[in-house]
Chains A and B, each alone.
Chain A
């Protein structure tokens, strides 16, 4: 048996209550390793084409990888997937915290849930024993209360819990799956999928050691990381930086902070939402994920009798994406309102990016008279209204009043309101854009278009990382025969597409290895670690092939579900140049963008017109072997 694996996948059908254990082959583990590749493969194999994402037939998959449970720094993550209720494409979301490590120690490598329980339930998995328990008493509870109740019921404070809040129960199409209350598998609406199964939570506790073939090879990169992370990741690190939210001001300074639904070139008062201000007013502590010394998470607190001005430290603090989507995108400068909205998203189980983007879309419609107070239930959805921002999050999660409309996400709202709102429908494949500006990061725009899950910033290219001789560029060049020189951030040349190609393979690999994207490992570090865990020999190009395989499997799934090359595009608004601000004059023509997409297809050995993977691609990535292992 390959190292890093227990050799068992647990399948549970909630309709019948039956479980069965699959014992995959070594090839399964060698080729897929975990996360997105496992999700895509299982969906292709076991999910009938064109399944309604909210039907009992859809699969909810929890997939750590071979690295989880090994204590490698940065491995405190896991993947969650299924067919996305938000997009209809592959749903694949990764999350940090402690759940993935604990689940892996139960003795299972993945969990696949099908069917629908007749009443609310939760799963309790302790080592290799799985039990379906009633969740009638938990339904309707917010996430912190649910966690406390389950831990009390199981009489074990160390149980780790993945769960939905009321938003998932009510099938808000961008509901999240929460872990440890404040770690979010946020994107793609997987919380709605979990809610559609009447599944409130998955509680896990494990004592099974994950087998590691050559521990010394895992220790080497871990030691290197310990010696270097403060230099490379100081901006995130406790005692040095303020985590991701600490970077908001500098993003705004260079025009990279999306503002007024992507229609304003600069956020005028970023200091109002700054890390400095948040720290001065609300800082309590830092938090971290399993086996991570960085401690990039914030814990904020603000005792207040008004529940909408109180910050509960149990829910942590907001990340950059949340401060942007709920703050600058909606022009809200009240930092407490933004932090509260983010906290409520954790309590109700919502994706902060899609929540903020949905509210920003509604604000633009309101300002333009497309919707009025008659539609909003009397709420004044003008730009910058922090009180309405907080109120809207409550309404969305409960699907009450105007919140029921907002709960559908931007693409569906735009379709209902009519084609005159298409200009401000900022989505890709139906998923709202994250908080990285394509006019500042050209290849990120391409990555948004190409992400099989819809617009995503984790599988992307942050162009400033490649604008000078950075360690990112050195890493990319280490796998190329023809070296690439630093490139301007707005560049969309052949060399930028080559960076995109390799970087997408790398980031998709990271979502299979479930290695934190912030980590500063080079290719050699993770090749060494994966080789040590598995007992196999992985080189740099093997890692990139795993990423390419995950991307290609996800693409095959999307093509099967009816997506085409025409879906690989970004909204016109973020291709059009601003006439002022730091990004003035930077825009992209349809022709250049289409060329870059086609060129990326070619580098992937996908058909340059249709984006369909070629026979050569399938053979080289050994996907033909996976097909022989059988899928529908």
Chain B
């Protein structure tokens, strides 16, 4: 679990870019993960607000 203070009206997509810079070893993995905001899968253009919870998880497709 990471906590981050981010600029007002930052988008989810912009947050992911920050994470890619902060964790370069994940830069190629992040685009292949499913992203949720407050447990819902949302478009990356959505703007974040205080208290939001962002999660990244694998795209389960079978097994």
Selected from A243, A321, A440, the residue in CB contact (under 8 A) with B41 is A440
B63/A254 in contact, CB under 8 A: no
Is A68 at the interface (CB under 8 A from chain B)?
no
CA distance A246 to B57 in the complex (A): 10
A467/B57 in contact, CB under 8 A: no
Chain A 299-324: CB-based contact to B (< 8 A → 1; otherwise 0): 00000000000000000000111100
Chain B 51-63: CB-based contact to A (< 8 A → 1; otherwise 0): 0000101111111
| A255 nearest in chain B by CB position | B39
**Which chain B residues in 34-53 approach chain A with CB under 8 Å?**
34-36, 39-44
Is A134 at the interface (CB under 8 A from chain B)?
no
B57/A518 in contact, CB under 8 A: no
Q: Specify which chain A residues have a CB less than 8 angstroms from the CB of B39 in the assembled complex.
A: 253-255, 582
Chain A 473-491: CB-based contact to B (< 8 A → 1; otherwise 0): 0000000000000101100
| A241 nearest in chain B by CB position | B58
Is B24 at the interface (CB under 8 A from chain A)?
no
Q: Specify which chain A residues have a CB less than 8 angstroms from the CB of B35 in the assembled complex.
A: 468
B29/A488 in contact, CB under 8 A: no
B63/A243 in contact, CB under 8 A: yes
Size range of the chain B interface in the assembly: 20 to 34
Is B4 at the interface (CB under 8 A from chain A)?
no
14 pairs across A/B with beta carbons < 8 Å? A235-B33, A235-B58, A250-B58, A250-B60, A254-B40, A320-B63, A321-B62, A321-B63, A464-B34, A465-B61, A468-B44, A470-B32, A488-B42, A518-B62
Size range of the chain A interface in the assembly: 35 or more
CA distance A465 to B39 in the complex (A): 16
Q: Specify which chain B residues have a CB less than 8 angstroms from the CB of A469 in the assembled complex.
A: 31, 44
Q: Specify which chain B residues have a CB less than 8 angstroms from the CB of A243 in the assembled complex.
A: 63
Q: Which residues of A contact B (CB under 8 A)?
A: 231-232, 234-236, 241, 243-247, 250-251, 253-256, 296, 319-322, 436, 440, 457-458, 462-465, 467-471, 486, 488-489, 517-518, 582
CA distance A518 to B60 in the complex (A): 9
Q: Specify which chain B residues have a CB less than 8 angstroms from the CB of A470 in the assembled complex.
A: 31-32
B36/A253 in contact, CB under 8 A: yes
A489/B41 in contact, CB under 8 A: yes
Query: Given A464-B41, A467-B43, A470-B31, are A254 and B62 also a contact pair (CB < 8 Å)?
Result: no
| B63 nearest in chain A by CB position | A244
B32/A231 in contact, CB under 8 A: yes
Shortest 8 CB-CB contacts between residues of A and residues of B: A244-B63, A250-B57, A235-B58, A319-B63, A582-B39, A231-B28, A247-B60, A320-B63
A462/B31 in contact, CB under 8 A: no
CA distance A518 to B39 in the complex (A): 24
| A490 nearest in chain B by CB position | B41
Q: Specify which chain B residues have a CB less than 8 angstroms from the CB of A486 in the assembled complex.
A: 43-44
Q: Specify which chain A residues have a CB less than 8 angstroms from the CB of B59 in the assembled complex.
A: 235, 462, 464-465
B41/A518 in contact, CB under 8 A: no
Selected from A232, A462, A467, the residue in CB contact (under 8 A) with B61 is A462
Q: Which residues of B contact A (CB under 8 A)?
A: 13, 28-29, 31-36, 39-44, 55, 57-63
CA distance A236 to B61 in the complex (A): 11
CA distance A468 to B56 in the complex (A): 13
| B56 nearest in chain A by CB position | A250
Query: Given A231-B29, A231-B32, are A247 and B57 also a contact pair (CB < 8 Å)?
Result: yes
CA distance A254 to B53 in the complex (A): 12
Q: Specify which chain A residues have a CB less than 8 angstroms from the CB of B43 in the assembled complex.
A: 467-468, 486, 488
CA distance A465 to B62 in the complex (A): 13
13 more A-B contacts (CB under 8 A) besides A320-B63, A465-B34, A467-B42?
A234-B32, A243-B63, A247-B57, A250-B57, A251-B60, A457-B61, A464-B59, A467-B43, A468-B44, A486-B43, A486-B44, A517-B61, A582-B39
Q: Specify which chain B residues have a CB less than 8 angstroms from the CB of A236 in the assembled complex.
A: 58
A94 to chain B minimum Cβ distance, whole angstroms, is 10
A254/B41 in contact, CB under 8 A: yes
CA distance A457 to B63 in the complex (A): 9
Q: Specify which chain A residues have a CB less than 8 angstroms from the CB of B42 in the assembled complex.
A: 467, 488
Q: Specify which chain B residues have a CB less than 8 angstroms from the CB of A255 in the assembled complex.
A: 39
Q: Specify which chain B residues have a CB less than 8 angstroms from the CB of A254 in the assembled complex.
A: 34, 36, 39-41, 55, 57
B16 to chain A minimum Cβ distance, whole angstroms, is 9
Q: Specify which chain B residues have a CB less than 8 angstroms from the CB of A244 in the assembled complex.
A: 60, 62-63
A106 to chain B minimum Cβ distance, whole angstroms, is 29
B62 to chain A minimum Cβ distance, whole angstroms, is 6
CA distance A436 to B62 in the complex (A): 9
B28 to chain A minimum Cβ distance, whole angstroms, is 4
Selected from B13, B41, B57, B60, the residue in CB contact (under 8 A) with A320 is B60
Query: Given A232-B32, A440-B41, are A458 and B62 also a contact pair (CB < 8 Å)?
Result: yes
CA distance A469 to B58 in the complex (A): 15
CA distance A247 to B44 in the complex (A): 21
Query: Given A457-B62, A468-B44, A517-B61, are A250 and B31 also a contact pair (CB < 8 Å)?
Result: no
CA distance A486 to B13 in the complex (A): 13
CA distance A602 to B9 in the complex (A): 43
CA distance A631 to B39 in the complex (A): 51
Q: Specify which chain B residues have a CB less than 8 angstroms from the CB of A436 in the assembled complex.
A: 60
Q: Specify which chain B residues have a CB less than 8 angstroms from the CB of A245 in the assembled complex.
A: 63
Query: Given A234-B29, A467-B41, A468-B35, are A253 and B62 also a contact pair (CB < 8 Å)?
Result: no
Q: Specify which chain A residues have a CB less than 8 angstroms from the CB of B33 in the assembled complex.
A: 235
Most chain A Cβ neighbours within 10 Å, of B35, B43, B60: B60
B2 to chain A minimum Cβ distance, whole angstroms, is 16
Q: Specify which chain A residues have a CB less than 8 angstroms from the CB of B13 in the assembled complex.
A: 468
A246/B58 in contact, CB under 8 A: yes
CA distance A245 to B62 in the complex (A): 10
B61/A518 in contact, CB under 8 A: yes
CA distance A467 to B31 in the complex (A): 11
Q: Specify which chain B residues have a CB less than 8 angstroms from the CB of A488 in the assembled complex.
A: 41-43
| B31 nearest in chain A by CB position | A470
